[in-house]
């Protein structure tokens, strides 16, 4: 089936990023077939179903470059604690008591509903039981990059690093061929991964052509502890192990120094910037401007709801732009156009999917959102709609969402029957999870 989408404005996200008028887009199957004037497309595709979107902007779906989707069930757990206390006193004990296939499925369904309604079409995930996360994403109609999560210590999911890798690879084999399911290798962080395991990750990444997704230099303590234990900063260790290359997506990178950024830029590494989580955990502010100047690709991520409390990519993108200006003391830094590109095409590049998603380009997957940014009193006036998207736009402005050509949100409501059913079932299960939380927390 062919569908013509006829918006008032379009942002393809190809450079230079700009707002276009008088353009329409044709979806054929799961891909973008053509972009041209409505008149030409109507001539080329006379049988196509037409969808008129007056007063609205059509743009690529947002790409959440780093998430722990299942942790939506931990929203608000451990608020106002620094990272290591948050992990050691709250998150790791609760995960030990509660995380299961069922937990990950339910938490990911909840996260997918939140992200879809906020314009996110793809999320790059790192968590246990990745097969459950994939099942949830498939039910909700989202695109997922599922991490083959690896850590050295045992959990309810796996006993040791080899067990994590083997179980993740088995899940990958089970979902091979699914167009909306992609994979990465996801060693947790340098402080939780041995040299031997990093060697295995590097070999697998080369053999399977997969990106490597890990936390890096999130806190000053992490860097100081690494120097104390190994005599090296984390980046130097990764360089010696051969992991600094175009496959690497470093998450956070708050405490990367100029020399490290220059090296990572030369090696083609990417950075997933999670500003709200970094602020909430008091980790600091990532050197985004310096990373861009070093030639690094920047994607924007929410992190998990336990360290952010919301998976809101509109809020995250605005915050990323404002923080970059404040840290650099330059108002023309990380502009609205650059921030929008980071939230879409940058995230796609970070996840190794730039040939499939991230821009409205013929031949790519039809992952798109429709945004109505200037219709209520809070958004008036709107002289520059492109900057308006970043500095005024809200996730509630998203009216329609397509993933792989399938309309999954229509008029601000979940449209797909499986997603609606999944969300309704989950709402009935949430009180059960709340009871389990209270029991695990001792009251």
The DSSP string of 156-172 is: SS-SSHHHHHHHHHHHH
Matching CATH number, 62-350, of 3.30.565.10, 3.20.20.70, 3.20.20.140, 3.30.365.10: 3.20.20.140
DSSP state of 157: S
Considering the domain 2-60+368-411, what is its CATH architecture? Roll (2.30)
The ranges of the chain annotated as CATH 3.20.20.140 are 62-350
- Is 386's pLDDT higher than 80? yes
- Confidence at residue 149, expressed as pLDDT on a 0 to 100 scale: 98
- Over residues 215-273, the pLDDT tens digits come to 999 999 999 999 999 999 999 999 999 999 999 999 999 999 999 999 999 999 999 99
pLDDT in tens, 354-376: 999 999 999 999 999 999 987 77
Q: CA-CA distances (angstroms) from residue 78 to 277, 308, 354?
A: 13, 11, 36
pTM: 0.97
CATH 2.30.40.10 boundaries in the chain: 2-60+368-411
- pLDDT reported for residue 443: 58
**What three-state secondary structure class fits 20?**
strand
What average pLDDT is seen over the chain?
95
pLDDT 10s digits, 16-47: 999 999 999 999 999 999 999 999 999 999 99
Say how far apart CA 5 and CA 57 lie, in whole Å. Answer: 11
Distance CA 268, CA 317 (A): 23
């Amino acid at each position: 089936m062919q569908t013509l989408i006829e918006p008032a404005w379009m942002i393809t996200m190809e450079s230079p990023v700009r707002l276009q008028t008088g353009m329409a887009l044709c979806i054929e199957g799961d891909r973008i077939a053509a972009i041209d004037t409505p008149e030409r497309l109507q001539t080329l595709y006379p049988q196509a179903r037409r969808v008129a979107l007056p007063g609205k902007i059509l743009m690529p779906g947002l790409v959440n470059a780093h998430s722990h989707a299942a942790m939506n069930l931990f929203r608000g757990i451990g608020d106002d604690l620094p990272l290591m206390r948050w992990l050691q006193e709250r998150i790791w004990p609760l995960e030990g008591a509660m995380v299961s296939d069922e937990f990950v499925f339910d938490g990911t369904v909840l996260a997918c509903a939140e992200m879809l309604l906020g314009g996110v079409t793809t999320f790059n995930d790192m968590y246990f039981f990745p097969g459950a996360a994939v099942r949830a994403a498939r039910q909700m109609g989202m695109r997922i990059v599922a991490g083959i999560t690896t850590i050295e210590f045992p959990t309810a999911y796996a006993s040791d690093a080899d067990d994590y890798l083997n179980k993740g690879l088995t899940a990958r084999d089970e979902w091979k061929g699914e167009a909306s399911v992609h994979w990465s290798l996801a060693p947790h962080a340098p402080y939780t991964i041995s040299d031997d395991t990093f060697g295995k990750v590097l070999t697998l990444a080369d053999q399977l052509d997969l990106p490597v997704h890990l936390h890096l230099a999130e806190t000053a303590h992490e860097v100081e502890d690494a120097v104390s234990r190994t005599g090296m900063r984390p980046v130097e260790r990764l360089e010696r192990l051969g992991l600094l290359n175009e496959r690497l997506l470093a998450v956070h990178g708050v405490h990367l120094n100029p020399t490290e950024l220059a090296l990572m830029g030369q090696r083609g590494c990417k950075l997933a910037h999670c500003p709200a989580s970094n602020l909430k955990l008091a980790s600091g502010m990532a050197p985004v401007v310096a990373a861009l100047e070093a030639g690094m690709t920047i994607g924007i991520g929410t992190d998990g709801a336990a360290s952010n409390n919301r998976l809101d990519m509109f809020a995250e993108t605005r915050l990323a732009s404002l923080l970059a200006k404040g840290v650099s003391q330059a108002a023309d830094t990380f502009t609205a156009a650059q921030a929008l590109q980071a939230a879409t095409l940058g995230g796609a590049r970070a996840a190794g999917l730039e040939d499939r998603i991230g821009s409205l380009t013929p031949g790519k997957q039809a992952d798109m959102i429709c945004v109505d940014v200037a219709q209520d009193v809070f958004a008036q006036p709107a002289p520059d709609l492109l900057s308006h998207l970043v500095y005024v736009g809200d996730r509630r402005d998203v009216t329609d969402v397509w993933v792989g050509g399938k309309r999954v949100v229509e008029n601000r409501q979940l449209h797909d029957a499986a997603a609606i059913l999944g969300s309704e079932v989950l709402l009935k299960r949430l009180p059960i999870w709340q009871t389990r939380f209270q029991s695990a927390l001792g009251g």
